[in-house]
Chains A and B, each alone.
Chain A
C-alpha cells in the first residue's frame, strides 16, 4: 500500500538539498552550456546564449530551492564567462556586461526559488487545512483517528498509522496486514508522551517516526509514519508537515474529548435534576393512592354503620388504588434504569409485534369496554431495543389515552416503517391537546390543564418517562392532533441494521415433537 501512496501529491521539497541536488544543478548548467555552444555555432547572438543559461537557472530554482538556484546562477555565469567571452577558456572578466548578467541571474534565482517555496508552503497549509476541516466535523476519538489516518495516507508517501489504546494494548485504528511499526517505539511514544524513531532521542535507528497524540492529562494514542524514503523522516518539509499534523490531530482530539466531557456533565446534571423532581413528585403520587387505601381499610375495619354496598365500594377502591401504585412503581423502576442513559438499556433484537402485544395485554384491565386495535405493516424489521422499556412507553401512552378519552371510544396503535425508523403512534378520540401543551406534556411531571381535578392523576410522570426512554433509544416523541378529534402520541425507534438472517434450525436427533 505504501507504493500507491508514494506518488507526490503535493509539490514538496522533501528535505534539505544534498550533494546530489547540487550535482544535478551543475548538470543542468552543463546542458545549458552544450545548447549555448550549438546556438553559437548556428550564429545566434550572445543574448540567446544568456537566455539559455537563464532558463537553466529558472528550472533549477523551481525544482530545488534557493541554495541550488544560487549555486546554478554562479556556475552559469562562470561557464558563460569561461566558454563564451574573450578571452576564451579563462575566468578573466574583460566585459563589464558579464557582471551585470551575473546579477540578473542571481536575482532571478532568488525570486523564483522564493516563489516556489511560498507555493509549497501554501500547498502544505492547504493540505493541513483540508484534513483539519474534515476532522473537526467528526466526533469520537476512534472516528477522528480513522479519518486522520485516511487523510494522511493520501498526503504522505509511505505508511501512516494511528494507534489507540485498546484492552491494555496499542491497536491500529484501521487493522491492516503486517505492521511495519515497532511496538516498543509505539509504547515509548505513548507512555512518555515523547517522540520516538528516526531523528528523535529514542529508537533513532528506526526508519519510522512515532509522535504521541497527547493532551495535558495524557496521550490519546500515537501517530506513526514510515516514509517511503527514510531521509524524509529525518528532516525537510514532509517531516515538518508530519509534526504539524500530529499537533493538529491532538488538538482536535482534545477538543472532542472536552466536548464529550461537557456533555457527560450536562447529562449528569440533568439526571440529578430528574432525581430530585422525581422524589418530590413520587412522594405525592404514592401518597395519594396510599391515603385512599389506608382510609378505605380503616373504614372497613371499623365496620360500624357501613351498608354492604359501601363495603363493596371501599374494597374496589383499595383494589384500584393498589393497581395504580403498582403501575407507578413500574414506572419508577423504568426510570431508575434509564437514569444512566443509553448505558442502562438492555438492548436485544426485538419483534415489535411482541412488544405491542404484551403492552396491550398488560393494560387490558384499564382498557375494558374499549376497542384497542393495532395495525402493523406485514414485515417490520427487528429493532435493537430494551423490550421492557419500550413496552412501558406503550403502556403509558395507552393508559394516557384511556385517561383522556371518553369510555368506550376506540384507541389505535399504528406502526409504520419510514426510511430508517419505525414510527409507533397511539391515537385516541378524546378532547385532544391544545397546541401550546403538545411540547410541555413531556416535561417532567407536567400535567395538562385539562386534567385539573381527579381524572388526570399520575399522568405527569408517565409521559416524562416515555420521553426519557425514547430519547435513550435515540428516537423522538411528540404529540399531534388526531384527524377528527383526539390526540396522537407518536415516537420513533431507529432501525440500526439487522441481525444475521436466521435460517432453518439444524435437524436435532431428538426431535422435540415426540
Chain B
C-alpha cells in the first residue's frame, strides 16, 4: 500500500482531529505521511526523514511555527504549506514572507488541501529543474503567454501590456498556483524599497486584470486572496 516512490508529507499539527483529517485525505490521494506535534519534533523529523513537503500549523504548543520555517529555509527550499485561522492574516503574510510556499485557512476542504499540495510540489520541482526549457510558454484556459517573445494572448487575441503589467504577470506565472503577497510582488517587480506601497500593486494589478479578465469581479486567471495577495489560477489549482 505504501510505496517509497510516493511523496512523503510531514504534518506538523498539535490537534489530533486535524492531523487525522490531513493524514486520511493525503493517504487517499497517494501520499505517505509522517506526523509531528511540536516544533522541535518537526525539526527532528525533517532532518531524519527528509520529507518532500511540510504542512505546518502556525500555532504550536512549544514554539511559533515560523521558527520551523526559518530553520528549514536556512538550508533548503523544502515546500511548506502553513495552516492558519482566518483572522490571522498578518501571521499568514508574515509566514509567506519568511519563505512559506502557501497557506490554508481553517476550516478547509480536501479539494483545497490537495490543490495547494500539488502546486507546492510542482513549483518546487520546477525550481529544482531550472535549466529545463519547458517553462517558456504558459497556457491556462484561454490565456497563453510566450515568455520568450513576451506575447500575451487571451482567446487568441493579442493583449498589449505595459512593462509593469507584463512583469506582474510574468512573476505570477513563475509561481503559478501559489499565493504571492503584496510585499513579494513589490520586491520582484518594483525592486527593494517599495515594501509598504501595496497600492502600487493594486493599481497595476487592476489594469492588468482589466486587460485579461472578461469580468474582473469573477476573474478566471488572477484571484485576490483578501488581506494576503494574489494567486494565478492554473490548471491544478
Task: List A residues at the B interface (Cβ < 8 Å).
Answer: 322, 326, 329-330, 333, 337, 348-351, 353-358, 360-361, 374, 376, 382, 387-388, 391, 413, 499, 502, 504-508, 511-514
Contact = CB atoms under 8 A, between A and B. Distances in A.
Nearest to A392: B226
A387 B223 contact: no
Contacts of B89: 388
B71 interface: no
Contacts of B216: 353, 357, 376
Contacts of A349: 198-199, 202
A329 B105 CA distance: 13
Given A504-B162, A506-B191, A361 B223 contact: yes
Nearest to A361: B223
A217 to B, nearest CB: 37
Nearest to B170: A513
B224 A357 contact: yes
A356 B217 contact: yes
B3 to A, nearest CB: 31
Given A326-B107, A330-B86, A504-B164, A374 B217 contact: yes
A512 B198 contact: no
Contacts of B171: 512
29 contacts: A333-B86, A333-B87, A349-B199, A351-B203, A353-B206, A353-B217, A354-B202, A354-B205, A354-B206, A355-B224, A357-B217, A357-B218, A360-B218, A374-B218, A376-B216, A382-B203, A387-B227, A388-B89, A499-B197, A502-B200, A504-B164, A505-B164, A505-B191, A505-B200, A506-B190, A507-B163, A511-B167, A511-B170, A512-B171
Contacts of B226: 354-355, 358, 387-388, 391
A350 B174 CA distance: 25
A348 B224 contact: no
Contacts of B223: 357-358, 361
Contacts of A357: 216-219, 223-224
Nearest to A337: B87
Contacts of A513: 147, 150, 166-167, 170, 174
B199 A502 contact: yes
B68 interface: no
Contact of B163 (A376, A382, A413, A504): A504
Contacts of A382: 199, 202-203
A504 B216 CA distance: 22
B170 A505 contact: no
Contacts of A350: 202
Nearest to B191: A508
A354 B209 CA distance: 10
Given A351-B202, A353-B209, A360 B167 contact: no
Contacts of B97: none
A512 B203 contact: no
A357 B197 CA distance: 21
Nearest to B206: A351
Contacts of B199: 348-349, 382, 499, 502
B189 interface: yes
Interface string B169-205: 0110010000000000000111100000111101111
Contacts of A374: 215, 217-218
Contacts of A355: 224, 226
A361 B204 CA distance: 22
Contacts of B167: 505, 508, 511-513
A322 B189 CA distance: 41
B186 to A, nearest CB: 9
B225 interface: yes
A512 B170 contact: yes
Contacts of A360: 217-218
Q: What 7 pairs between A and B have smallest CB-CB spacing?
A: A349-B199, A513-B170, A374-B217, A333-B87, A354-B224, A358-B226, A505-B164
B47 to A, nearest CB: 33
Nearest to A358: B226
Nearest to B175: A512
Nearest to B86: A330
Contacts of B203: 351, 382, 502
B107 to A, nearest CB: 5
A511 B197 CA distance: 20
A413 B216 CA distance: 13
A387 B182 CA distance: 14
A512 B189 CA distance: 7
Given A354-B202, A382-B203, A502-B197, 10 more contacts: A329-B86, A353-B217, A374-B217, A382-B202, A387-B226, A388-B227, A391-B226, A505-B164, A505-B200, A508-B167
A330 B167 CA distance: 35
Q: Which of A326, A354, A374, A511 has the most CB of B within 10 A?
A: A354
A360 B171 CA distance: 25
Contacts of A388: 89, 226-227
A130 to B, nearest CB: 43
A133 B223 CA distance: 54
Contacts of B204: 502, 505
A368 to B, nearest CB: 14
B205 to A, nearest CB: 7
Contacts of B202: 349-351, 354, 382
Contacts of B198: 348-349
Contacts of A511: 167, 170
A267 to B, nearest CB: 22
B91 to A, nearest CB: 13
A363 to B, nearest CB: 12
Interface in B142-180: 147, 150, 162-164, 166-167, 170-171, 174
Contacts of A358: 223-226
A513 B163 CA distance: 11
B150 A512 contact: no
A347 B234 CA distance: 31
Contact of B189 (A387, A391, A505): A505
A505 B217 contact: no
A170 B5 CA distance: 70
Contacts of A322: 107
A349 B174 CA distance: 26
B197 to A, nearest CB: 8
Nearest to B174: A512
Nearest to A509: B191
A204 to B, nearest CB: 50
A184 to B, nearest CB: 38
A506 B191 CA distance: 8
A350 B200 CA distance: 10
Nearest to A511: B167
